[in-house]
Amino acid sequence: MNDPANRPSASPKDGTSSEEKPSTRPPIRPDMTVRQVAADYPGCREVLRHHGEPEDRPTKFGHLEPLDHFARRQGIDLKQLLAELSQAAGVEVDRESVRAARSSPVSRLGTGCHALAGRRMRGAAAARDRLARLL
């Protein structure tokens, strides 16, 4: 009964140990939000803090801002930020799926909260101009 040959093996059937297997977590993409990365990869919080993400916000940690916008706003090279986040999270960076999504006609329509806010701002500016002409 205690024969080692009859015990189930702790290693997978393909002969690789669990440390050698690739991570099952999805890769980090530049279009992921700061909040999403911080929630999905807790090891990345320190990297984001180091690059200027405030810790003392009353809401959850991390802005609802894509990583590429965050890097631009903080004056950080996006490739450097992605490399640091990838190392902290222990996952790869996926730049290809973002390129494919950005080249689609639907992505060029400008949907999303930033585009809608821009439209509201333009609408407010137009209303202000009309009001100024009347006065």
- Any idea where the domains of the chain sit in the sequence? 23-103, 107-135
Higher-confidence residue of 50 and 132: namely 50
Between vectors from CA 94 to CA 24 and to CA 67, what angle results, nearest 5°? 110
Residue 54 confidence (pLDDT):
86
Between vectors from CA 42 to CA 34 and to CA 19, what angle results, nearest 5°? 125
User: Tell me: the pLDDT tens digits for 63-114?
Assistant: 889 999 999 999 999 999 999 999 999 999 988 765 544 554 444 444 455 5
Are 53 and 62 in contact by the 8 Å Cβ rule? The answer is yes
Does position 126 have pLDDT exceeding 80, yes or no?
Answer: no
What is the chain's mean pLDDT, rounded? 74
- What's this model's pTM, rounded to 2 decimal places? 0.56
